[in-house]
Amino acid sequence: MNDEIQPFRIEIPQADIDDLHARLDRVRWPAQLAGTGSERGVPLDRMKELVGHWRSGFDWRGWEARLNRLPQFVTGIDGQRIHFLHVRSERPDATPLLLLHGYPSSIVEFVELIEPLVAPSEGPAFHVVAPSLPGFGFSNPLGGSGWSMGRTGRALAELMRRLGYERYGVHGGDIGAGVAGMVAGVDGERVVGVHVVTDPLTAAATATFIPGMADRLDADDPVDKLILERMTAFRTEGSGYLAIQNSRPQTIGYGLADSPVLQLAWIAEKFAEWTDRPIDRDVLVATVSIYWFTGSGAGAAHVLYEQAHSSDWGAPAAVPHGFAVFGADATVRTLVPAPPGAHWTEFEHGQHFPAMEAPDDLVADLRTFFGPLRRASSAAPS
C-alpha cells in the first residue's frame, strides 16, 4: 500500500458468499450434554438458530449496500492497509471525531451513531472518522508483526494528519479505549480530548492483568470484595478465549479462518455474556460476516497476542478525559485511573458494546463531553 487515500467499496465476491452457504449447509454439530447450558459455551439450540438465520434469513448484500452508503477509504500507513469510514458533516463548526471499535467488533458498531453525530437537529456536530483497526475487518491482513496499541495509535494519528485535521477528539472502547489513549499520547497538541467507555465486567477483567491489583484490594470492603469476585470469575470462567489468543493465535486462527460456525460462536458468546440489552440479531451476524469474509478472526487474534507481549504503552496523555460507564456500579471508580477533573457519566444499562446497546446515551455523552472542547478544524477531503 502507498500513502495515497483511495476510495473503497465493500464488494464481497458471490463465490465467497456461495462458499459460506455451502459450509453452513454441512455443519457437523457437537452434542449438547444433558443438564448443561451456557456455562459451557453457546447452547446448541442457540447456535442452530443463528446458523439457520445466517444461511437463509440474513441479507448480506443489503448490509453491504448499507455500509457502502457511508464514504469509505483505504490508505497505507507503516506498511499496513488502513480502512476507514469518513463521513463529513455539513456544519462548518463540526468537530473531527475518531471513533475506535473494540473486540470482538467492527465498524458495524458505529452505524447507528453516525447520522446523529454528523447531522444533529441541535447541539454539537462531528466529522466522523471510524477506522477498522489493523488486523480487523477491511484492515486485514496484517502487514507484519508488532501491531501493538502503541503502533496502532501512531498510525491513526498519522491518518488524522493526512486527512488535514488540526484538532480532533478521540473515542474508544475496549482495545479502542487503549488505542485512543495512545493517539492522545503521541498527538496531544492536536487531540482536544479523549472519551472512553467501560463497564464493570471489562474493568474487572482488565484489573486481572495489573500486577499486584488483588493485593491492593481489601476483601472486607464490600466494593473491593465484589471486584475480587469478578476478577476470580474472569480468570477461572471467562478468560479462555483470551488465553489462547494471547498465546497461540496461529493455532486458533486455523479454526476461525476455516469454520464459519466457530467464528460465529466465538463472537456470539461474547455478545451474549457482555451485554445486558439485546443486540439485534442482524447486527451480530453482520459483524460476524465481516470477520468471516475478511479472515480477520485470525488477524484479531494476532493483535491480541501483540498487545499481551508488548511494552509499548506510550506516554500519558495530558488532555481532557471523559469516561462513560455502562451498567455502572461502585466498582468502576475504584478500578479506572481517571485523572483529576475528568468528565464522568454513569449509565444504568448497557455494558461492553454501548454503541450497539445504548446508542442514544452514548451520543448524548459524546456531545456533552466534546461540546465545550470544540475547535475549528481545517478542511479535509470529502
Instruction: Please give the chain's pLDDT, 382 residues, in tens.
Output: 689 999 999 999 999 999 999 999 999 999 999 999 999 999 999 999 999 999 999 999 999 999 999 999 999 999 999 999 999 999 999 999 999 999 999 999 999 999 999 999 999 999 999 999 999 999 999 999 999 999 999 999 999 999 999 999 999 999 999 999 999 999 999 999 999 999 999 999 999 998 899 999 999 999 999 999 999 999 999 999 999 999 999 999 999 999 999 999 999 999 999 999 999 999 999 999 999 999 999 999 999 999 999 988 777 788 999 999 999 999 999 998 888 899 999 999 999 999 999 999 999 999 999 999 975 444 455 4
- Predicted pLDDT of residue 312: 83
- Predicted pLDDT of residue 380: 53
Q: Which of 83, 86, 165, 174 is catalytic?
A: 174
Using the structure block, give the residue that is written with the C-alpha cell 471467562.
Answer: 238
Dihedral (CA of 40, 42, 13, 111) sign: negative
Question: What does each C-alpha distance from 202 to 97, 162, 166, 231, 350 come to in angstroms?
Answer: 24, 33, 32, 10, 12
What domains can be seen in the chain, in order of their start residue? Answer: 6-29+37-199+239-373 (3.40.50.1820)
| Strands annotated E in 272-382 | 321-326, 343-347
- Give catalytic status of residue 321 as yes or no: no
SS3 127: strand
Residues 264-284, buried b or exposed e (16+ Cβ, 10 A)?
A: bbbbbbbbeebbeeebebbbb
- Predicted pLDDT of residue 237: 94
Q: Which three cell numbers stand for residue 57?
A: 434469513
Q: Which of 101, 352, 361, 365 is catalytic?
A: 352
What backbone torsions phi and psi does residue 125 show, to the nearest 5 degrees? Answer: -115, 160
- Give catalytic status of residue 174 as yes or no: yes
- Predicted pLDDT of residue 379: 47
- Predicted pLDDT of residue 375: 56
Angle at the Cα of 369 from the Cα atoms of 278 and 137, rounded to 5 degrees: 50
First to last CA, the chain: 21
CA distance 139 to 173: 18
**Helix H segments across 69-189?**
111-118, 149-162, 175-186
CA distance 279 to 203: 21
- Predicted pLDDT of residue 117: 98
CA distance 107 to 176: 12
Residues 26, 100: contact at Cβ < 8 Å?
no
- Give catalytic status of residue 305 as yes or no: yes
- Predicted pLDDT of residue 378: 41
Q: Which of 168, 241, 291, 305 is catalytic?
A: 305
| Strands annotated E in the chain | 6-7, 72-77, 80-87, 95-100, 126-132, 168-173, 191-198, 321-326, 343-347
